[in-house]
């Protein structure tokens, strides 16, 4: 009994230190494993959640992967259970809604970094490529974002006609394209280059502006706009039009 009481005191002391660290400095000094542990302690009144947090990180690999994992994967981790799995998904979806609502409230797509910050949370650990389109109004405020294509993205897998049809339907004045590279290397492939050119040309035909195409990797990204490629594709289109 004494050993059990001492164990409980150690666990409660550890929990209190986590809470105090968060109160004093937020999550800045927390490792990803400690963030998971802290979230689990909020959903479970008693017990040592450190082993569950460690196992979750070991199986899934990162904080964002834990937060976005399906319920069945989370509940299969010893120590998490159905209630904590729901709680972790709630945190993930609440964060995604907060970012979406903030995007809708202000013209924050002023740089590639803004776009990356908005989408990195949800896209960095995806196991397959997902092609997302941000539809913006004339003030560069978000109208809607949609995941349109998934799998191995090539020019034949992404359909400019479908994208432009949605842009017209939503009355979008500008577009931002985003997709991820599960390999972690955001360097654009030749297919990415050709696809971006085709999308810029299709948008120019409809007098819709393409602001950027962002490729998201692990903790980094590639911006076609920052590299001057969006401008070059638009200039190539204008030059071809003049030569007709």
Distance set, CA 106 to CA 3, 58, 226 (Å):
56, 38, 22
d(CA 29, CA 45): 23
Task: For residues 43 and 87, state if they share a domain.
Answer: yes
Give the total number of structural domains in the chain: 2
pLDDT of residue 242: 85
Q: Which of 71, 98, 125 is the last residue of a domain?
A: 98
Confidence check: pLDDT of 135 > 90: yes
Task: For residues 80 and 154, state if they share a domain.
Answer: no
pLDDT of residue 207: 95
Residue 99 per-residue DSSP state = H
d(CA 182, CA 204): 30
More reliable by pLDDT, 208 or 121 = 208
Determine if the pTM surpasses 0.75: no
Residue 27 per-residue DSSP state = T
pLDDT of residue 106: 54
d(CA 244, CA 165): 26
Work out the number of other CB atoms within 10 angstroms of the CB of residue 110.
Answer: 11
Q: Which residues pair with 146 in a beta bridge?
A: 133
Q: Give the model confidence (pLDDT) of 64-86 as tens digits.
A: 778 878 888 888 888 888 888 88
DSSP for 56-81 reads: HHHHH-SHHHHHHS-HHHHHTSTTTH
CA atoms within 13 A of residue 5's CA, in its CB half-sphere = 2
Provide the domain limits for residue 172.
Answer: 106-243
């Amino acid at each position: 009994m004494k050993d059990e009481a001492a164990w409980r005191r150690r666990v409660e002391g550890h929990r209190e230190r986590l809470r105090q660290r968060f109160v004093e400095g937020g999550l800045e000094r927390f490792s990803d494993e400690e963030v998971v542990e802290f979230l689990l302690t909020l959903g479970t009144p008693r017990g040592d959640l450190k082993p569950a947090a460690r196992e979750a990180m070991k199986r899934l690999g990162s904080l964002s992967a834990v937060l976005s994992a399906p319920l069945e994967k989370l509940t299969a981790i010893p120590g998490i259970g159905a209630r904590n799995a729901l709680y972790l998904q709630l945190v993930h979806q609440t964060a995604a809604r907060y970012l979406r609502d903030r995007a809708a409230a202000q013209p924050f797509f002023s740089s590639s970094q803004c776009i990356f910050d908005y989408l990195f949370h949800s896209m960095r650990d995806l196991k397959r490529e997902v092609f997302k389109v941000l539809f913006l109004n004339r003030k560069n405020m978000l109208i809607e974002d949609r995941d349109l294509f998934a799998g191995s993205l090539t020019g034949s897998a992404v359909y400019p006609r479908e994208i432009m049809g949605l842009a017209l339907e939503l009355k979008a004045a500008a577009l931002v394209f985003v997709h991820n590279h599960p390999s972690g290397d955001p360097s654009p492939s030749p297919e990415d280059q050709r696809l971006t050119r085709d999308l810029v040309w299709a948008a120019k035909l409809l007098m819709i502006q393409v602001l950027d195409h962002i490729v998201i990797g692990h903790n980094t990204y590639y911006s076609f706009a920052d590299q001057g490629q969006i401008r070059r594709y638009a200039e190539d289109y204008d030059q071809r039009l003049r030569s007709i």
